[in-house]
Amino acid sequence: MTEIKNAACVGGGVIGGAWVARFALAGIDVKIFDPHPEAERIIGEVMANAERAYAMLTMAPLPPKGKLTFCKSIEETLKDADWIQESVPERLELKRGVITQIDAAARPDALIGSSTSGLLPSDLQAEMKHPGRMFVAHPYNPVYLLPLVELVGGKKTSKATIERAMQGVEQIGMKGVVIAKEIEAFVGDRLLEALWREALWLIQDDICDTETLDNVMRYSFGMRWAQMGLFETYRIAGGEAGMRHFLAQFGPCLKWPWTKFTDVVDLDDALVEKIGAQSDAQAAGRSIRELERIRDENLVGIMHALKSGNGGEGWGAGKLLADFEAKLWANAKKPEADLGDVKPLHILDTKVSAAWVDYNGHMTEHRYLQVFGDTSDGLLRLIGVDLEYVRDGHSYYTVETHIRNLGEAKLGDALYSTCQLLSSDEKRLHLFSTIYNAATKEAVATAEQMMLHVDSKAGKAVAAPAKVLDKLKAITEAHAGLPTPEGAGRFVGQKR
C-alpha cells in the first residue's frame, strides 16, 4: 500500500499551487520549487482560499496541516519525496527537460507525475533513465476541491506505478481514473475542446455573448453533468426503453449540420477583444481571488448536495467526499476522558471561518448547532459509538435541544467546547455542552440535549449494549459530583 508522507511540487502556478494545497491539507509535508520571485506569496494566497473552502466542505477533523518548505533548487526539493508532481508550463521541451532532471535526482522508488493537460507521457519520459515510475496525473482546477485526476501511463510506465498512483490519490481524497491508451489531451480535455470550439463560433457569429453562453450551461445541463455525467444522463433521456431508444431517436441528428466545431474559428485580434470585453463585463469588477472564492463556495454546495443524495448514501463526488470524511474521522484523535480530574470533558477545538459568519461578521445561528452536534458526536466516539458502530445499525439520536446564545463569536475566533453528562440510563443520555472563546475563556453559548439510543433499522429506541453503557456509566458517575450548570433545565422565555 503506497502511503505519501512527503511530496514535492515543481512549479507553483495555478495548478502547481493547488496541488500544494491538496497535499498539505491531507497532512503531507510539501517541498516546493518555483523560480518565480513571488511564488511564496502566490501559493500562500492559494492555501488561504483552500483552507477557507475546506472549512466549508467538511467538519471532519483534518490531519495537522503539512509543512510547506520553499527550496532553491530542484535537487533540494526532491529529497525524501514519495510523490513528485511536475507542473511547469505546457511546453514539451521544457517539461521533458525538467522531468529528466527530476528523474536523475529523485529517490529510486519515488513516483513522478506530470500535470500536463495534453502532452503524451511517452514523449515526456523519452530521455529518462528510470521511465517506469513516470506518468501523467492530470487534475482539474481547483485541484484542492475538484477530485478527478486522469492517470495516464506512457509506453515505458509500469503497471505497478499506475496502481501505486491510484492508491496515492485516494489518500488525498481524489478520484483517480485510468485512461487505457495515451492520446493527446486525454479524455476530459478532448470533451472540453469540442465544447470550446463550438462556443467560440457562437460568440464569433454573435449568436450570444459570453454571459448568455455560461448561463445556458450553468442553469441546465451543467447541473446534470455535475452529478451523473453524459451517458447516464442520456440513458434517462431515453425513457423506460433506455440508451438504445435514445440512440435510435437522436442518432440521426449527428448527420444534421448543427455544429461548427470541426471547423476552426479564426481567433484574431477582433475576436479576442470581443471575448475579453464581454468577459470583463460579466465579471462586474470582481477580482480573480474573489471569483475563486465564489467558485469554491458553489463547488462545496454542490458536493454537499451530492453527499446527501441516493438516500443519504451519497452520489458521485458527494459519495467520494463522504468516504474521505469517514477516513478522516477514523484517523482523528479521539477525545480522552480524564476522570481523575473531574470537570466537563474538553471535546472540540475549532475556529470561526469565513464560511461561518453572516453579514454582521458574527457566527451564524446554524453553526452553533453544528458545533454542538460535533461536540455530542465527540462524546459518542468516546463511549464507543463511532462510524463502525453506526454502520452496524445502532446510534444515538438527538430528540431535544435547547440552545442559549450568551455572547458573540466573530470571524477568526478560536473556540472550544466542553460536555457534562447530567444523567444517563440504558436508553437515554442527558448532556449539557458549552462553547467557549478560547482567548477569553468566556462562554459563548450552551446547549442542553436529550439523546436516545436507537436501532436505526427498526426505527425504535433500544437499550445500548454493555460495552457502551459501562463507558457511559463511568463518565456519568464522575460527573455526578459536579454542580448543575447554570442554565440547565431552562426553557424559552424563562425569567433570569
Do 153 and 56 fall into the same domain?
yes
**pLDDT at residue 259, as a whole number:** 80
* DSSP structural state of residue 35: -
Do 230 and 118 fall into the same domain?
no
Residue 223 belongs to a domain:
yes
Give the total number of structural domains in the chain. 3
Cα torsion 30, 35, 36, 37: sign: positive
Q: What is the mean pLDDT of residues 262-282?
A: 89
Listed as own residue / partner, the contacts of 86-89 with beta carbons closer than 8 Å and 24 or more positions apart are 86/10, 86/11, 86/112, 86/113, 86/114, 86/115, 87/9, 87/10, 87/11, 87/12, 87/13, 87/15, 87/16, 87/19, 87/114, 87/115, 88/10, 88/11, 88/16, 89/11, 89/13
pLDDT in tens, 275-319: 999 999 998 999 888 899 889 988 988 998 898 888 778 899 999
CATH of the domain at 252: 1.10.1040.10
What range does the domain containing 344 cover?
Answer: 334-479
Burial code (b: 16+ CB inside 10 Å, e: under 16) for 336-352 equals: ebeeeeeebbbbbebeb
End-of-domain residue from the set 143, 163, 186: 186
Do 464 and 403 fall into the same domain?
yes
Q: Which of these, 18, 65, 62, 7, lies nearest to 44 by C-alpha position?
A: 18
Residue 163 belongs to a domain:
yes
Burial of 98 (0-12, 13-18, 19+ CB in 10 A): buried
Do 349 and 449 fall into the same domain?
yes
**pLDDT at residue 353, as a whole number:** 79
Do 389 and 434 fall into the same domain?
yes
Q: Which of these, 419, 396, 420, lies nearest to 484 by C-alpha position?
A: 420
Q: Which of 80-84, 156-160, 473-477 has the lowest mean pLDDT?
A: 473-477
Do 135 and 38 fall into the same domain?
yes
**pLDDT at residue 340, as a whole number:** 60
Please, how many CA atoms are within 13 Å of residue 150, restricted to the half-sphere of its CB? Answer: 25
Residue 296 belongs to a domain:
no
**pLDDT at residue 168, as a whole number:** 97
Rounded distance between C-alpha atoms, residue 27 and residue 333, angstroms: 14
Q: How confident is the model at residue 228 (pLDDT cuts 50, 70, 90)?
A: confident
CATH of the domain at 99: 3.40.50.720
**pLDDT at residue 238, as a whole number:** 86
Is pLDDT above 90 for 251? no
End-of-domain residue from the set 122, 157, 186: 186
Instruction: Decide: 150 and 187 in contact? Cβ < 8 Å.
Output: yes
Do 214 and 226 fall into the same domain?
yes
Q: What are the φ and ψ backbone dihedral angles of 55, each rounded to 5 degrees?
A: -65, -30
* DSSP structural state of residue 460: E
* DSSP structural state of residue 153: E
CATH of the domain at 468: 3.10.129.10
Average pLDDT score over the chain: 92
Is pLDDT above 70 for 181? yes
Q: How confident is the model at residue 28 (pLDDT cuts 50, 70, 90)?
A: very high
Residue 387 belongs to a domain:
yes
Cell of 175: 478520484
Phi-psi region of 186 (alpha: psi -120 to 50; beta: other; left: phi over 0): left
Do 469 and 339 fall into the same domain?
yes
Cis bond upstream, residue 483 (ω within 30):
no
Q: How confident is the model at residue 495 (pLDDT cuts 50, 70, 90)?
A: confident
Residue 295 belongs to a domain:
no
Residue 468 belongs to a domain:
yes
**pLDDT at residue 1, as a whole number:** 62
**pLDDT at residue 338, as a whole number:** 61
**pLDDT at residue 111, as a whole number:** 98
Of all residues in the chain, what percent carry a pLDDT higher than 70? 98
Do 148 and 76 fall into the same domain?
yes
**pLDDT at residue 352, as a whole number:** 87
Grouping H, G, I as helix, E, B as strand and the rest as coil, residue 182 is coil
Rounded distance between C-alpha atoms, residue 306 and residue 310, angstroms: 8
Q: What is the mean pLDDT of residues 218-234?
A: 90
Residue 97 belongs to a domain:
yes
Cell of 163: 496502481
Is pLDDT above 80 for 265? yes
Q: What is the mean pLDDT of residues 254-274?
A: 85
Residue 310 belongs to a domain:
no
Do 165 and 204 fall into the same domain?
no
pLDDT in tens, 336-394: 666 566 789 999 888 887 778 887 888 999 899 999 999 999 999 889 998 788 888 99
Q: What is the mean pLDDT of residues 246-257?
A: 84
pLDDT in tens, 419-464: 999 999 999 999 999 999 999 999 999 999 999 999 988 889 999 9
**pLDDT at residue 335, as a whole number:** 64
Burial of 467 (0-12, 13-18, 19+ CB in 10 A): exposed
Do 356 and 432 fall into the same domain?
yes
End-of-domain residue from the set 186, 201, 234: 186
Do 250 and 277 fall into the same domain?
yes
